[in-house]
């Protein structure tokens, strides 16, 4: 986990919207952490019944990313099922460093 400025964290969150709007085409998406273009990848993991789950978004250049839980998996997006084995998850989702907004409370 690494703490980043709130604006950078927001840019990561905005990528989820970009992914949804582009139907998953991240070729033109820019990494908020390292400014690399076309390095963003993502994966939904969730329940096929409710289509509720989480999304991991990461950069294949700097391996920073975010994890957002309790999201709706939009129609047309592939997802891995909840409870699938670690090897399946690891084959798809790299071990990336999660960015978190810098906490303002203890400053």
DSSP class of residue 30?
B
What's the min distance (Å) between Cβ of 36 and Zn ion?
Answer: 5
- If one asks whether residue 29 binds Zn ion (CB under 5 A), the answer comes out as no
| Distance between CA atoms of residues 51 and 74, nearest Å | 8
Q: Which is nearer to Zn ion, 37 or 52 (CB)?
A: 37
Q: Smallest gap, in angstroms, from Cβ of residue 64 to Zn ion?
A: 6
CB of 40 to Zn ion, least distance (A): 8
CA distances, 44 to each of 36, 79, 102 (Å): 22, 5, 25
Question: What is the spatial distance between Cα 58 and Cα 33, in angstroms, rounded to a whole number?
Answer: 10
Binding status of residue 59 toward Zn ion by CB under 5 A: yes
Reduce the DSSP state of residue 104 to 3 states and report it.
Answer: coil
Q: Is 62 in the site for Zn ion (CB under 5 A)?
A: yes
Nearer to Zn ion, 36 or 80 (CB): 36
């Amino acid at each position: 986990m690494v703490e980043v400025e709130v604006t950078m964290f927001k840019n990561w969150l905005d990528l989820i919207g970009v992914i949804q709007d582009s139907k998953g085409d991240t070729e033109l998406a820019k990494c908020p952490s390292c400014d690399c273009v076309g390095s963003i990848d993502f994966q939904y993991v969730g329940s096929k019944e409710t289509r509720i789950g989480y999304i991991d978004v990461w950069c294949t250049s700097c391996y920073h990313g975010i994890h957002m839980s309790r999201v709706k998996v939009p129609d047309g997006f592939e997802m891995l099922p909840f409870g699938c084995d670690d090897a399946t998850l690891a084959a798809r989702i790299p071990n990336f460093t999660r960015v978190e907004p810098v906490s303002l409370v203890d400053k």
